[in-house]
Structure 1
């Protein structure tokens, strides 16, 4: 009897000891989680909570905490990215407005204060004021257009369009510029009409942006091209050149709002960094995609993909 009683007491003591040990381990683990979580949030690091434990409930808690940390870290990174973009926006827009306005004020001051100006000189200064004022208006219009696109306030009316005809008309609209700059032009557009559902004004804007971009940055190659391709589901429009291209490290950024690195081609509007961004937003607004492939001085291609209409 004494042996049995002793055995029971030993077992009970062992259970109590194990429970105390487990409780202490859980308490230590919780203290570690609290301390480490506080450190991660205070120092704003990208660390995760790593803890060796056999407690199934604690494992589930750690998984959810790490998911929450990942979400917070992504949100903070996006916020920081947006804040940097806003600072660039203010800097770029200020520069794009300040430069022409400085010329405008200088010309007006000359006209007002220099009584010796001839009629021809006065008219030349007024013509400069007009041109620079148009630049200011152009920058402001592009900025507000992008703001509308990003806010979803702009509704594009959609109709059936012959994309081949649109592409031909747009490349022809640049004929004088291309001829003056000595560009060769490679046009590969099928004779048979290909149809899409899109907004005609937006499509013209997209094509003009991309052709202007190719002219601006493809001058080293002295050739630009436009090609229309199709498959059973989609229509593809390639606008290409053989100019300086875009380095691989910049390719993922050229469509970002206000991206204006010196090697970027996204300075369509006097360095405001709006051109390719507006182009991308318009393409996406019509359910399409735009991609870029570039080998400097070999071929740089902007490709638009749109859904094909089969009737």
Structure 2
């Protein structure tokens, strides 16, 4: 009887020791997880918490903690990217505002200091002031347009639109400018109407931006063009030029805020770096997509895809 009692006592002591060791290991694991988590958060690193354990509850906790860390790290990366973009945006806008305002200030100082200025010269200076003031207003309007688009504070109702008619109207509005610059213009728009899901005002702005870019940055190729085509589901609009083009390593960045085409194309043209970002947002509002392909000095094509309507 005593032997059985001793065996029971030994077994109980063994269970207690086993539980104590298990709890101690669990406490050590939880302490390590706490310290590691605190270190990752403080240093804002991209590490994960790695622990070897057979405890199913700790395993589940690790999965949740690492998922939260992954989400937080992605949020931080997005925030840093937006912060860098905002800094560049402010720098670019400051530069773009400073340039015309400096010219305006110069014109005004001439008008103030040179009382003997002829009427013809005064009119020339005042015209310069007017032009540069409009340039400043355009920059400010562009900035707020993007802010409204990204905040969803715009009204572009989606309806059935005649893509061929809208494209024809927009390319013809640039015809005189293009021909006066000595450029050739290639227009391939079917006579048969093609209907897509979209918004006429939004598509007008998209085409205006893309055609303006083609003229500004691709004029050295001596030709710009617009092509409308379709497949079974989509209507495609290609706006293209044969100018300097865009190097492959720039292509993924051209639709980002504050990326400026003069970084990769024509440095004689300045811009706030918002035009193509606005273009992409407008296309996305129409549930479409926009792509860029470029072979320098051969062909640079911006392709808009809109959902075709068959009825």
Which residue matches 1:216?
Answer: 216
**1:237-252 maps to which residues of 2 (within 5 A)?**
237-252=237-252
Which residue matches 1:189?
Answer: 189
Which residue matches 1:161?
Answer: 161
Rounded Cα–Cα distance in structure 2 between residues aligned with 1:154 and 1:266: 32
Which residue matches 1:207?
Answer: 207
Provide the aligned C-alpha RMSD in A.
2.2
Which residue matches 2:107?
Answer: 107
Q: TM-score of the superposition, structure 1-length normalised? A: 0.92
CA contact (8 A) 1:254 1:266 kept: no
* SS of residue paired to 1:141: helix
Deviations 1:11-60 (A, max 9, x none): 33332222122111111101110111111111111111011111111011
Rounded Cα–Cα distance in structure 2 between residues aligned with 1:310 and 1:183: 36
1:183, distance to aligned residue in structure 2 (A): 2.7
Rounded Cα–Cα distance in structure 2 between residues aligned with 1:204 and 1:134: 21
Unaligned runs of 5+ in 1: none
Which residue matches 2:48?
Answer: 48
CA contact (8 A) 1:93 1:272 kept: yes
Which residue matches 2:170?
Answer: 170
Q: TM-score of the superposition, structure 2-length normalised? A: 0.92
* SS of residue paired to 1:219: helix
**1:53-68 maps to which residues of 2 (within 5 A)?**
53-68=53-68
Deviations 1:65-123 (A, max 9, x none): 01111111111222222222222222222221111111111111111220221222111
Q: Do structure 1's residue 27 and structure 2's residue 51 form an aligned pair?
A: no
**1:1-311 maps to which residues of 2 (within 5 A)?**
1=1, 3-260=3-260, 262-264=262-264, 270-311=270-311
* SS of residue paired to 1:309: coil
Check 1:84–1:148 CA distance in 2 against 1; reply closer, same or farther (3 A cut).
same
CA contact (8 A) 1:161 1:198 kept: yes
CA contact (8 A) 2:262 2:269 kept: no
Unaligned runs of 5+ in 2: none
1:201, distance to aligned residue in structure 2 (A): 2.1
Give the paired residue count: 311
Rounded Cα–Cα distance in structure 2 between residues aligned with 1:156 and 1:33: 50
Rounded Cα–Cα distance in structure 2 between residues aligned with 1:31 and 1:47: 17
Rounded Cα–Cα distance in structure 2 between residues aligned with 1:181 and 1:269: 16
CA contact (8 A) 2:243 2:300 kept: yes
1:297, distance to aligned residue in structure 2 (A): 2.6
Rounded Cα–Cα distance in structure 2 between residues aligned with 1:20 and 1:265: 70
* SS of residue paired to 1:124: helix
| Worse-matched range after superposition: 162-171 or 247-256 | 247-256
